[in-house]
C-alpha cells in the first residue's frame, strides 16, 4: 500500500512538472499570469512561474522521499 506522503509527493511532482511545461501559456492566458506580466515583464513572469513550479516539484520530491512531513493536527 502506498503511503499518504508518497501519494501527495508524487501529486506535487506531477503538478509542478505540468506547470513547468505550461509556464508560457499560464503567463499568456490566465489573469494571474497577465498580472505578473504587467508587473515584471514577460520574461521575468515566465521565469517566476517556472521557479514556483520547480519549487512545487522539489517540495513534492522531498515529501515523497520522507525528508519533510506534512503537518498533522492532533
When pLDDT is cut at 50, 70 and 90, the band that residue 74 belongs to is confident
Chain segment 8-60, per-residue pLDDT in tens: 999 999 999 999 999 999 999 999 999 999 999 999 999 999 999 999 999 99
Q: Quick check: 1 pLDDT over 80?
A: no
Buried b (16+ CB within 10 A) or exposed e, 29-48: eeeebeebbeeeeeeebbeb
When pLDDT is cut at 50, 70 and 90, the band that residue 63 belongs to is very high
What is the pLDDT at residue 55?
96
Amino acid at each position: 500500500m502506498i503511503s499518504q506522503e508518497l501519494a501527495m509527493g508524487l501529486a506535487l511532482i506531477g503538478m509542478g512538472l505540468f506547470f513547468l511545461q505550461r509556464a508560457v501559456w499560464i503567463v499568456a492566458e490566465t489573469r494571474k499570469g497577465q498580472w505578473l506580466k504587467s508587473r515584471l515583464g514577460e520574461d521575468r513572469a515566465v521565469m517566476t512561474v517556472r521557479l514556483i513550479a520547480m519549487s512545487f516539484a522539489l517540495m513534492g520530491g522531498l515529501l515523497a522521499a520522507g525528508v519533510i512531513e506534512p503537518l498533522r493536527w492532533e
